[in-house]
Amino acid sequence: GGSRRCRRLEAEAARAVLGAADTLLFDCDGVLWRGEAAVGGAAAALGRLAAAGKRLCYVTNNSSRTRAAYTEKLRRLGFPPAEPRHIFGSAYCAARYLRQALPPGAAAYVLGSPALAAELEAVGVPHLGPGPAALPGPTPADWAQAPLDPAVRAVLVGFDEHFSYAKLCQALRYLLRGGPDCLLVGTNRDHRLPLEGGTAIPGTGCLVKAVETAAQREAFIVGKPNRYMFDCVVSEFNIDPARTIMVGDRLDTDILMGNSCGLTTLLTLTGVTTLDEVKGHQEIVGISVVGVLSFSPSSAQAGSQLV
């Protein structure tokens, strides 16, 4: 139907869409900022939305920052003040998932960042790693003799800039030892992280795939486009999907999650997905966009009349 088609939101349509919502979920990288630079007009637009009484939450697949670090980054870049409970990063959501899925006292073997470890600690999930795997000898065959912690009942894979073959060995050994009783959880499947100048670096999806390939099983994925992250927002704020907008820069993560959770979706053209890609996908069921909202200075101008 027509409402599933992509349209560019002009001021009046945007006013109607925003007026019907009480909560907005914002993807972070590519929508609010790129690296350390705020997207032009984004901080002012969110300031107006907050002043109009909208609840603003943040959903990011990046597992390398804590909720506290995101509240600080939002403050630093001039966004309206946010509390940690408004931030749904894949590190926090993974920790929350493991806390409810693991039996009390069970531990996770973690391939990830210090931030991922900090979020596990904050919810009381014991963990081994991140950090170098203890190697009992010089060859991979020796590593197969490394001691395994009896408490480990999950392998968690996030963004790990020190990912190694030794860690992959250890992850596989925990998964083989535990069989189906050892959970396999990935923070997200982003295949690349785009950088300025058209280049990119491999994303967490590459690391999750390596562990899945070794173990020959599929991970539970916490991040977008899966709905677990949205379920975390619902359980914290009891929001109504029909009055919630997902704002993102990617069709295959942000917009797909929004669509499958029954949210209104707004694609900004400030990140990964281009207008040409939108035109190529608008007929595909499940990847449709109801609005294209740009936070460029000109439409931020229009935005000032909206709320």
Among 168, 190, 270, 299, binds ligand PLP (CB under 6 A): 190
Radius of gyration, alpha carbons of the chain: 20
Which of Ca ion, ligand PLP, none interacts with 204 (beta carbon under 5 to 8 A by kind)? ligand PLP
Q: Is residue 119 a contact residue for Ca ion (CB under 5 A)?
A: no
Q: How many Å apart are CA 246 and CA 243, to the nearest integer?
A: 10
Among 64, 226, 244, 264, binds ligand PLP (CB under 6 A): 64
Q: How many Å apart are CA 63 and CA 114, to the nearest integer?
A: 10
DSSP bridge pairs for 157: 111, 186
Among 159, 163, 174, 228, binds ligand PLP (CB under 6 A): 159
- Residue 29 appears among annotated catalytic residues: yes
Stretch near ligand PLP under the rule CB under 6 A, chosen from 3-11, 21-29, 45-53, 135-143: 21-29
Q: Is residue 71 a contact residue for ligand PLP (CB under 6 A)?
A: no
- Residue 181 appears among annotated catalytic residues: no
130 cis-preceded (ω within 30 degrees of 0): yes
- Of 59 and 175, the one with the shorter C-beta distance to ligand PLP is 59
Which of ligand PLP, Ca ion, none interacts with 151 (beta carbon under 5 to 8 A by kind)? none
Among 62, 264, 273, 299, binds ligand PLP (CB under 6 A): 62
Among 119, 190, 249, 252, binds Ca ion (CB under 5 A): 249
- Of 23 and 62, the one with the shorter C-beta distance to Ca ion is 62
Site for ligand PLP in 201-240 (CB under 6 A): 203-204
Among 21, 25, 30, 208, binds ligand PLP (CB under 6 A): 30
CA pseudo-torsion sign 261, 33, 110, 117: negative
Among 29, 119, 190, 252, binds Ca ion (CB under 5 A): 29
Q: How many Å apart are CA 176 and CA 189, to the nearest integer?
A: 23
Which of ligand PLP, Ca ion, none interacts with 62 (beta carbon under 5 to 8 A by kind)? ligand PLP
Q: How many Å apart are CA 63 and CA 51, to the nearest integer?
A: 29
Contacts of 234 (CB under 8 A, 6+ apart): 241
Q: Mind giving me the DSSP string for 107-141? A: EEEEES-HHHHHHHHHHT--EE-SSPPP-SSSSHH
Which residue stretches of 20-103 are H helix? 42-51, 67-76, 90-101
Q: Is residue 190 a contact residue for Ca ion (CB under 5 A)?
A: no
> Counting runs of H as helices and runs of E as strands, what totals does the chain give?
12, 15
Which of Ca ion, ligand PLP, none interacts with 190 (beta carbon under 5 to 8 A by kind)? ligand PLP
DSSP bridge pairs for 221: 186
Name the residues annotated as catalytic.
27, 29
Binding site for ligand PLP (CB under 6 A): 27-30, 60-62, 64, 159, 190, 193, 203-204
Binding site for Ca ion (CB under 5 A): 27, 29-30, 249
